[in-house]
Structure 1
Amino acid sequence: MTPDNEDLWFLPLGGTGEIGMNLNLYGHDGRWLMVDCGVTFPRPGRVAADGTVHHGGEPPVQMADPAFIADRREQLAGLVITHAHEDHVGAVPYLWPLLQCPVYTSRFTAEILRRKLAEFDLLHRVPIIEVETGQTRQIGPFSVQWLALTHSIPDPNALMIRTPIGNIFHSGDWKLDDQPLVGHGYSRKTFSDLAAEGVDAMVCDSTNATLPGHSVSEATLHEGLVRLIANAEGRVVVTCFGSNIARLHTLASIARETGRYMGLLGRSLVNMSGAAKAAGLWDAADQLINPSHIGYLPRNEVLAAATGSQGEPRTALRRLAAGNHPDFELEAGDTVIFSARAIPGNEEAIKALISRLSALGVKVITAESADLPIHASGHPAQEELELMYSWVKPAIAIPVHGEAEHMETHATIARATGVPRALVGRNGDLFMIRPVPGMRRQITETGRLGWEKQVLVRVG
């Protein structure tokens, strides 16, 4: 199945009908463009009393099966990565040997990707082309422009994908944050100009489509976090997503305000901060201490940022809860702050982790229990979706990056905002934008691959 010069197609292999392992294909004139190549983690399983999650032998890292495009590798013009979250970039080291195409992305994402490729001895094999926001690159028959949007990670980009027969706006993950703290902001004019040009389809993030209102800005979290940390008597450990550099900047600023020393616990936090420094996105005033020094400091002078907000095994917070972290032990009177919300499916693992921390006498504060906001989502709520549709004015809305409920609600919002047509499908469905809009259900098999014992295996 190959698109001709009159066809403009969208074919998701991962991330449509689910949250995670995004892998999208656009087809035109005999070629394909891939957008994002991410991982996910095992489906929710039984949680033991110690917080261990049993997944029935599933591989710990999973990704979309790329067989459709791997079988057509000679037609693949390139891979574009919209941002550096694991569900968008994490599968590249595993799947690139099957694809063997150039990778286009922003500077910060390229820094993250290089670190991943080095672990697989692929660093000097994968051609990485860095693209500045606003630039346009010709990738096969696709003219791709990088557009500035905001998200919970530096340098996220939406894409305007232009062809001689039609244009598609691919949102990537986004929100409308007027004070993102780190990286570029966004401009309404960027998107209203697209409407003047003409957008045949808008492929858009559905994660928070069921939530009313507008997402919270990163800048608004300082007040809630500083109040909690200033009033804490012992050590303070804040767990958050490692990719949220803006949150780390906020915590580093609070450390200075409250007379605490800040250290990072967890490999992903260290990698992300290193990439931010290499990309020029780390404030020189934000000084970090070696985490091995934390155990020697007075308890009321410690502020640690730790991985493990989702209750994942082998993360820093899980090791602290188990009393086997190499740098220090939590004691009664210390405080752990969850500056994150549960990803669906992780609730039981997080609950078990909190129970274990509480049993140590540690005070636990979650985003739900805090009096003021201490976490901001990186995805658009309903008001933001309405605004974006009013700016871009696409002829067709294609909700992605969500489960069925999210995408159906998203489609309803699009129609209510004046979009003539919404197409809701799932992985393996072919969305035909040109010449005649429509869908063909399940034109290809989809599934998951897992990484187990250094090889890719089929899951489920």
Structure 2
Amino acid sequence: MSVEVKGDLNPEEGLVFVPLGGAGEIGMNLNLYGYNDQWIMVDLGVTFKDECGVQVVAPDPKFIEENKDNLLALILTHAHEDHVGAVPYLWSRLRCPIYATPFTMEIVKNKLTEAGLMGQVELHTVPLGGKIEVGDFKVEYVHLAHSIPEPNGLLIETPLGRIFHTGDWKIDPHPVVGREMDIPALKKIGDMGVLAMVCDSTNVFEEGNAGSEQDVRNALIELVKKQKNRVVITCFASNVARLDSCVAAAKESGRFVVFVGRSMETMIEAATVTKYFTKIPHRISIDKASELPRDQVLYVCTGSQGETKAALKRIASNSYPNIRLDKGDSVIFSSRKIPGNETKITEVKNDLVRNGVAILNHKESLIHVSGHPCRDDLRMMYDWIRPQISVPVHGEYQHLMEHARFAKEECGIAKVITPQNGSFVVLGPNEPQIVERVHSGYLGYDGHDMIDMDGSIIRDRHKLSVSGVVLASLNWDPKTKVILDVQVSSRGVVEVGQDAASFEQILAEKIYDSLKKGTQSSPHKMEEEVRLLIRRHISRLRGIKPLVIIHNHD
């Protein structure tokens, strides 16, 4: 739902936080910080849907787009799609410099190149633990742990106080790939004094800790060793540590490893450029793997969420070239179900089972851990940072509300602000409060354009998909204004064939008779009369309300 700006809001007299995405849903993160009529943006992400032909959805940046002359920078915390995925779709509306650490910057460069924007964007690669200064904002990157290389929290210093923006994080003492979480830096930040912490809420309902990638590595190795035939491991392509563990599992079980899926290749390339991967031992091509005995191959592929075009979906339906799974082969789901993807995942699993393939998941062993903080992790972060204000983000409304309660009642944080997308939050210098709502909404990538997900295009597509469409063409004598002919066509109202032809003919005759008998009126009024006649007729006949389109010809 869109929310419009009320009043002339700017950060001239305070320190401001405005989330336009990610505060009310998991995904599509877009966060704004404002001070002294200057803005910085933290992250610019997407989510993936399958709604009326639109598969990529991003936050609507209208509010900051109207203030883009004062937007100093886009600062990226890490390379997950819900944090960087909208860059190629929305950067041209913002046209600001982009800052990121090396691995994230490699992913961004790849996206900009594909979008034909490389060379137009001012890019700044920040070293791990690096600092930048833009306007009145001083920003320090703080290395955390997550399910992708180089996850960063941001210490944002302003004349009115410090903000710690966590981004996505977890506590993992053995992350397998990359540095360990910089806990000394976090404790030092807490000692310096923090006005507000804007924090990940994803797993706030989960007790305990998120778990370590090292434990997953050990479990994957043992599980793959037990399999007698071909093995497929499906996981998130961006989890480079998990990919490295798959390589280790192949080596320990005497198998060759094959990576399948475009996004996986992209992540491996970025990890190689930034030295997280060197030469991968025992890696072979798909063609070579097809020539080997079944017990010598381990495929690692995309598609753990049942995505239509991903590798696993095509493998399960026997449509991926040179990859075939047979009875006795195994597929390991080293991932969790993202809410909303349950049906697609079930369809893929059913296809696999029809082929006699065994499905293994976290119920068999610890083959997946989350990349987000559980309650014990959150307690530790609050103990280190000790903010005056807690600002929960990165969650549905239920997550934000529970995080707010948790921070106040169990972590001793006196002040809590629970924003939603579009909340104009003043953090200081006075008492923190939400003072107004600004425009927020969603844009979908449709063909070559970004369209309003609340606009007429999507509304009409919903109508078409639910109740069909009827088109009535009215032909008039240009001189006498007498109706000459009516033609009707329809789709999705009655079954195609003789029934449809009969239905359309009867409806055309009803319209013709009505117009022949009726008095002359304005074209607009005649169209409304015909539209009403069509809707009444179909409502009596079928009990549905299709989209009705009228064309006048004279």
State whether TM-score is above 0.5: yes
In structure 2, relative to structure 1, the CA distance for the partners of 1:391 and 1:357 (3 Å cut) is: same
Q: 3-state SS of the aligned residue for 1:329?
A: coil
CA distance in 2, matches of 1:376, 1:198: 32
CA distance in 1, matches of 2:352, 2:404: 41
TM-score (norm 2): 0.79
Q: 3-state SS of the aligned residue for 2:55?
A: coil
Residues 1:245 and 2:252 are matched in the alignment = no
- Runs of 4 or more off by more than 4 Å in structure 1? none
- Could you tell me how far 1:227 is from its partner in structure 2? 2.0
CA distance in 1, matches of 2:76, 2:281: 28
TM-score (norm 1): 0.95
- Could you tell me how far 1:421 is from its partner in structure 2? 1.1
Q: How does 1:323-362 map to 2 (within 5 A)?
A: 323-362=318-357
2:226 corresponds to which letter in structure 1?
N
Residues 1:322 and 2:317 are matched in the alignment = yes
Q: 3-state SS of the aligned residue for 1:174?
A: coil
Residues 1:438 and 2:445 are matched in the alignment = no
Q: 3-state SS of the aligned residue for 1:425?
A: coil
Asked if the contact 1:9–1:26 (Cα under 8 Å) also holds between the matched residues in 2, the reply is: yes
Query: What's the % identity of the aligned pairs?
Result: 42
Q: 3-state SS of the aligned residue for 1:241?
A: coil
Q: Which has the higher contact order (CA 8 A, sep 6+)?
A: 1
Moved more, 169-178 or 187-196: 187-196
Which of 90, 113, 128 is the equivalent residue of 2:123? 128
Asked if the contact 2:257–2:282 (Cα under 8 Å) also holds between the matched residues in 1, the reply is: yes
Q: Deviations over 1:263-315 (max 9, x none)?
A: 11100100000000001110435442122322111111110111000011110
Q: Which residue in the other structure is 2:253 paired with? A: 258
Residues 1:107 and 2:114 are matched in the alignment = no
Larger Rg: 2
Q: How does 1:412-431 map to 2 (within 5 A)?
A: 412-415=405-408, 416-431=410-425
In structure 2, relative to structure 1, the CA distance for the partners of 1:299 and 1:385 (3 Å cut) is: same
Asked if the contact 1:333–1:363 (Cα under 8 Å) also holds between the matched residues in 2, the reply is: yes
Which of 4, 27, 31 is the equivalent residue of 1:24? 31
CA distance in 2, matches of 1:227, 1:344: 29
CA distance in 2, matches of 1:334, 1:138: 54
- Could you tell me how far 1:413 is from its partner in structure 2? 2.0
Q: 3-state SS of the aligned residue for 2:176?
A: coil
CA distance in 2, matches of 1:250, 1:436: 49
C-alpha RMSD over aligned residues: 1.2
Residues 1:379 and 2:372 are matched in the alignment = yes
Residues 1:79 and 2:86 are matched in the alignment = no
**Unpaired segments ≥5 residues, structure 1:** 43-54
1:293 corresponds to which letter in structure 2?
K
Which of 134, 141, 146 is the equivalent residue of 2:136? 141
2:17 corresponds to which letter in structure 1?
F
CA distance in 2, matches of 1:233, 1:258: 10
Q: Which residue in the other structure is 1:298 paired with? A: 293
Q: Deviations over 1:151-182 (max 9, x none)?
A: 00001100000011111000000001110011
1:127 corresponds to which letter in structure 2?
E
In structure 2, relative to structure 1, the CA distance for the partners of 1:358 and 1:160 (3 Å cut) is: same
2:199 corresponds to which letter in structure 1?
C
Asked if the contact 1:2–1:30 (Cα under 8 Å) also holds between the matched residues in 2, the reply is: no
**Unpaired segments ≥5 residues, structure 2:** 1-7, 455-554
Which of 276, 284, 287 is the equivalent residue of 2:279? 284
- Could you tell me how far 1:412 is from its partner in structure 2? 1.9
Q: 3-state SS of the aligned residue for 1:391?
A: helix
CA distance in 1, matches of 2:10, 2:440: 19
- Could you tell me how far 1:194 is from its partner in structure 2? 1.1
- In the alignment of these two chains, the number of paired residues is 446
Asked if the contact 1:240–1:340 (Cα under 8 Å) also holds between the matched residues in 2, the reply is: yes
Which of 14, 17, 20 is the equivalent residue of 1:10? 17
CA distance in 1, matches of 2:135, 2:53: 37
Q: Which residue in the other structure is 2:207 paired with? A: 212
CA distance in 2, matches of 1:391, 1:405: 25
Which of 388, 393, 396 is the equivalent residue of 1:400? 393
Q: Which residue in the other structure is 2:447 paired with? A: 453
CA distance in 1, matches of 2:137, 2:53: 37
CA distance in 2, matches of 1:126, 1:320: 38
